[in-house]
Amino acid sequence: MIVLRHLLCGLLVLGGTAAWAQDKDAEKTEKPAAKKSSVELNDARGKASYGIGRNIGNQLKNDELDVDVALLAKGISEALADIENPLSEDDFREAITEFQKAIQDKAASKNDEFLKKNSKEKGVKSTDSGLQYQVIKEGKGKKPTAKDTVEAHYKGTLLNGKVFDSSYDRGEPAQFPLSGVIKGWTEGVPLMTVGSKYKFWIPSDLAYGPRGRPPVIPPNSLLVFEIELIDVVPAEGKAKADDEGEDEELDLKVKKKVGK
């Protein structure tokens, strides 16, 4: 199940670097400053134990899972102590299903509320699919089709403003086939002309849906992108781009700029 897979990811010590990085990033941006921890870490066992706990906590926070922390800790301690489990497997599965539905309903309600309000903002337009966009700058070049490969600069954020990917931060634009990215890009980018810069609000069902892209993008996330369309890649450029390695971070299947 989705929630269980996300939680188990936090238990993997060697795979916990992303969650740890999120924790450190939060310390840099949090206002006011985070409270100081009173925990004493004197040896590798203690540091590893605390680190695993932090990774679990970061994953739960990132996925916005409203768990009972005291019962979560109790479950861990009693499992380690081989105490009889009072919860049957059927009861657990039923509870997880109900818990997931509550999370999905909450996220959907939050996203719908935002999109409804945002649609009334000056300059914001909506498509039949629910995609919203705003023209920041209109170019004079040609428009790509959903089958083209394009070159673009972009920045992607969650609804809370957290940046999860940015070609600007990498210092170079990217090339990607519009047939191989999330639906919101496939629909949205062809609205643009070369030289344009648009802002897009992409509903979850046009992005990564209930699966998300953990630990970077939580399930049912509404995504916000600023995209600057630089060029439509000619056929020979597209062939070269297709030979390049893919950026696996977000499944956007972004291709690095040809010649770079």
pLDDT tens digits for 170-195? 999 999 999 999 999 999 999 999 99
At CA 224, angle to CA 223 and CA 228, rounded to 5?
Answer: 130
Please confirm, yes or no, whether 92 is among the known catalytic residues. no
Average pLDDT value over all residues in the chain: 82
1: pLDDT confidence band, cut at 50, 70 and 90? very low
* Residue bearing the bigger pLDDT, 58 or 8: 58
Choosing from 23, 103, 176, 182, the catalytic residue is 182
- The confidence score (pLDDT) of residue 234 equals 67
Choosing from 133, 148, 165, 227, the catalytic residue is 165
Least confident of 45-49, 96-100, 209-213, 250-254: 250-254
CA pair distance 21, 243, nearest whole angstrom? 31
Please confirm, yes or no, whether 208 is among the known catalytic residues. yes
Enter the tokens of residue 33.
Answer: 């400053």
Choosing from 200, 208, 227, 230, the catalytic residue is 208
Please confirm, yes or no, whether 165 is among the known catalytic residues. yes
13: pLDDT confidence band, cut at 50, 70 and 90? very low
- The confidence score (pLDDT) of residue 105 equals 86
- The confidence score (pLDDT) of residue 7 equals 46
Nearest Cα to Cα of residue 153 among 165, 141, 139: 165
DSSP 203: -
Choosing from 2, 164, 205, 231, the catalytic residue is 164
**pLDDT reading at 119 higher than 50:** yes
DSSP 20-74: HHHHHHHHHH-SSPPPPP-----SHHHHHHHHHHHHHHHHHHHTT----HHHHHH
* Residue bearing the bigger pLDDT, 129 or 239: 129
103: pLDDT confidence band, cut at 50, 70 and 90? confident
**pLDDT reading at 37 higher than 60:** yes
Q: Each residue of 225-238: pLDDT tens digit?
A: 999 999 998 655 45
Q: In this structure, are strands 149-158 and 174-177 parallel, antiparallel, or unpaired?
A: antiparallel
29: pLDDT confidence band, cut at 50, 70 and 90? very low
Q: Who contacts 144 (Cβ-Cβ below 8 Å, separation ≥6)?
A: 150, 178, 189, 190, 192, 194, 229, 232
Q: What is the mean predicted confidence (pLDDT) over 202-224?
A: 91
- The confidence score (pLDDT) of residue 233 equals 86
- The confidence score (pLDDT) of residue 235 equals 56
Enter the tokens of residue 17.
Answer: 């670097």
Q: Each residue of 137-171: pLDDT tens digit?
A: 999 999 999 999 999 999 999 998 999 999 999 99
Work out whether the CA dihedral 184, 186, 190, 193 comes out positive or negative: positive
Please confirm, yes or no, whether 164 is among the known catalytic residues. yes
Top CATH class of 125-256 equals alpha beta
Choosing from 56, 63, 225, 230, the catalytic residue is 225
* Residue bearing the bigger pLDDT, 258 or 37: 37
**pLDDT reading at 15 higher than 70:** no
**pLDDT reading at 78 higher than 50:** yes
Choosing from 23, 56, 103, 154, the catalytic residue is 154
Domains of the chain, residue spans? 2-86, 125-256
Residue type present at position 123: G
Q: How far apart are the first and last CA of the chain?
A: 41
Least confident of 19-23, 84-88, 95-99, 213-217: 19-23
240: pLDDT confidence band, cut at 50, 70 and 90? very low
Classify residue 248 by burial, with Cβ atoms within 10 Å: 0-12, 13-18, 19+.
exposed
Query: Is the pTM higher than 0.85?
Result: no
Please confirm, yes or no, whether 154 is among the known catalytic residues. yes
